[in-house]
Amino acid sequence: MKIAVIKKNTVVNAELKDWLLDGLRSLGGFDIEELSSPKDISADFDRVLVFGGDGTMLETVRYTAPLGIAVLGVNLGHLGFLTEFDKDVTAKELASALNSNEFSQKSLLEIGFGKKTYLALNELVVKSSTTRPILIDLYVGGKFADTFKSDGLIVSTPTGSTAYSLSAGGPIVSPDVKAIVVNPICPHSLHSRPIVVGDDAEIDIRIAGEEGEASVVVDGSLVGDANSGEIITLKTSSKSAKFVVGKDENFFDKLLKKMNVWSTTLQKTE
């Protein structure tokens, strides 16, 4: 089995990564190649093993999803909600997971902006480029839904519902629910609340107002700026992100473990 290895550029636990990879090599059956960037992932790899946090996973999935390659993550970052294993994993556990054929599929957003198309596992964020709120028109299925006067707008998948959208007051959506969450950021209105639509909905976001200027961010990466009148389109992609399922832990177990235990206060008292 050919394995591509991706690591966070500033990985703080390189010794653990090397120890686990040495363990995998000693077990046999794995052709392991460490890559300098997710951009180097090609279709001839069977699995991609990621050492890092959620940011590294998001970047990697951008390249594995179009190729249909399954990803397995070891959390060397902070939260690690997208990774399957934490730092206490053993080489035997990694080998067993890599050899398994049990996978989960996570939906992706297909985002059209300018002349380019982007894939997002978590979310699209359209955010004011200044300290002033902006006006954003929302259309769902070609029909006008609302105008938000806010710091911006988050459109997330169920996977992304536990990320930025959650911090902005959005709902937690179970990964088996076929939905898209539209969540205004700090809306200057009492009626503006998160909206949940079906995953078959086509969404258009229009920067309104005469002086609208917004940053367009896909899974944490700035992809450009949108000015008044520009339109960003979204829909659920026909492609999906493929993840290796390495242990028997359901979504709610992980949610309680990660969200209730991981906090700044806890880290300071440890």
Which of helix, strand or coil describes residue 4?
A: strand
CB 161 within 8 A of CB 174: no
Strand locations in the chain (E): 2-7, 31-34, 47-52, 70-75, 103-113, 116-120, 123-128, 134-140, 143-150, 152-156, 179-185, 195-198, 203-208, 213-218, 221-227, 231-244
CB 4 within 8 A of CB 35: yes
Residues with catalytic roles = 54
| Alpha-carbon gap, residue 154 to 182, rounded angstroms | 6
